[in-house]
Amino acid sequence: MHKTTKKLTLSAMFIAVGMVLPFLTGQIQQIGNMLLLMHLPVILCGLICGWQYGALSGFILPFLRSVTFGMPPLFPTAIAMAFELATYGLVIGFIYGRSHWQCLISLYRSLIAAMIAGRIVWGIVQIVLLGLIGKSFTWQMFIAGALLNAVPGILVQLTLIPTIMVALNRTGLVIFRRKQPLENLAVR
């Protein structure tokens, strides 16, 4: 019960951070699209609280922010982002949580896998949503939205997420752990 309450509280905090963090860009959509600031708390939530909480907070955050502040626009941006961010939280939490050793290497492995999966899901959802209104989502649009325009945000994620996790490990708030080999467990 205590762990669940802690994870729910942390998830709510990550959603709150995700609500206000994009204000750093001054609500300028183009800069926000480049820095991907709403992604950071969702990724951290998946790492710290687990894949279930990361996926749920990732799905809720874009809708909540769209309804509260009008950014991102609900259709198609917030809907596509909801699936993208849910994928980030799910994939990073799932892979990192099942890593034999939770260390910087497994963190980067999980982060890169989540970034790739999230962008693929975003592209698929964009194809479906734009197809519903008779528009097409081209390969060029995918490359521009998922890669070229997002390079600054990708770099921020690849540097800031590991830095935060290492700092949390040093303070003892989040511990990098190593699972015991199976033969050691059998002896006990």
Q: What is the mean pLDDT of each run of 10 residues along the chain (188 residues)?
A: 92 97 81 88 98 98 96 94 98 96 94 97 96 91 86 95 96 81 48
| Residue at 169: amino acid letter | N
Q: What is the pLDDT of residue 49?
A: 97
First CA to last CA distance, the chain: 27
How many whole angstroms from its chain centre is CA 152? 16
Q: What is the pLDDT of residue 181?
A: 53
Q: Which residue pairs from 17-21 have beta carbons closer than 8 angstroms and sit at least 24 positions apart in sequence?
A: 17/41, 18/42, 18/57, 18/61, 18/65, 19/61, 19/64, 19/65, 19/68, 19/69
How many whole angstroms from its chain centre is CA 14? 11
